[in-house]
Amino acid sequence: MPAQVPSAVVADGYRFDSPAEVFHENSKIRRIGNAPGLSAEAVHAMSHGYKVYAASPTVELPPPLEVGSTVLEAIRGRRCVRDYGPAPLSLAQIATILFVAQGVPGSGQLHRSVPSGGGLFPLEIYLAPAGVAGLDDAVYHYDVRGHRLELIPGAAGIDALRPCIFVPEAAATASVFMAVTAVFGRSRIKYGERAYRFALMESGHVMQNVALTCAALSVGFCPFGGFVDDEVNAVLGVDGLDESALYLGTFGTLPRPASAARAGDAARPSPKNQEQGESR
């Protein structure tokens, strides 16, 4: 049974018509009263913004691929793809997507491929592949420190995630799913209610990195915000409260070679790599 949230609250003369308005108001930073400070717990959390499945079998990932496109070429060519070809993705393509989503580019743990409020890194990345050489058709968690995948014991694979998409036919031919979750407490310890905003912002950073990298790699990709939350959480084995799915991505090869797509889309200003997807 979902929690009952008042749909209208009167405070300081304002009427809030939705839980979102109540939340937004309560997560504003103000100059007095609730200025966030850096507690000892927050300092500790800063060096612990990652999850490890220590007892799981792991798969080491190859280094990320170098891509030839410029950022502007990738931006011009990016389109959502919901109709994928039958060829599987390679482990190197998967490794590149995971690295740009949340990888650690340097030797220290303080920086990732995406920015994070306070360097607290509340996000986790999960992957459900099918037919990728070197991976089981299962669910994996991305270990950011080791750039490797950890098998989630007992988790059903991509076929359990497919029906969780609100319009399942949009993901019917995808061969890889990615899920971005947030462990909200990592940021809340410093930012209070505002941490929820940060988690959403940061998942946008992740997906834009992924979208542009897929455009540059000629990999088909679509982000999904329309999914049945707790069904996805159940597949990933997260509780939906302390850690919850925020954003899904589907991947696959393009349905025809990039060269043919380029020829067919010659009228577009920068048709590189991409198929036009149906708008949702």
Ligand X SMILES: Cc1cc2nc3c(=O)[nH]c(=O)nc-3n(C[C@H](O)[C@H](O)[C@H](O)COP(=O)(O)O)c2cc1C
In the complex, which residues of this chain contact ligand X (CB under 6 A)? 79-80, 82, 166-167, 170, 222-226, 277, 279-280
Give min distance, CB of 166 to ligand X, in A: 6
Give min distance, CB of 63 to ligand X, in A: 28
For residues 197 and 56, give the distance between their C-alpha atoms in angstroms, rounded to a whole number.
32
Instruction: Report whether 113 contacts 99 (CB < 8 A).
Output: yes
Give min distance, CB of 119 to ligand X, in A: 24
Angle at Cα 105 formed by Cα 102 and Cα 109, nearest 5°?
80
The residue type at 31: R
Instruction: Report whether 129 contacts 89 (CB < 8 A).
Output: yes
Instruction: Report whether 155 contacts 114 (CB < 8 A).
Output: no
Q: For residues 189 and 273, which CB has a smaller minimum distance to ligand X in the complex?
A: 273
Buried residues in 245-280 as b, exposed as e (16+ CB within 10 A) = bbbbbbbbbbbeebeebbeebeeeebbbbbbeeeee
Q: For residues 150 and 202, which CB has a smaller minimum distance to ligand X in the complex?
A: 202
Q: For residues 259 and 279, which CB has a smaller minimum distance to ligand X in the complex?
A: 279
Q: For residues 59 and 211, which CB has a smaller minimum distance to ligand X in the complex?
A: 211
Give min distance, CB of 246 to ligand X, in A: 10
Give min distance, CB of 129 to ligand X, in A: 20
Q: For residues 152 and 248, which CB has a smaller minimum distance to ligand X in the complex?
A: 248
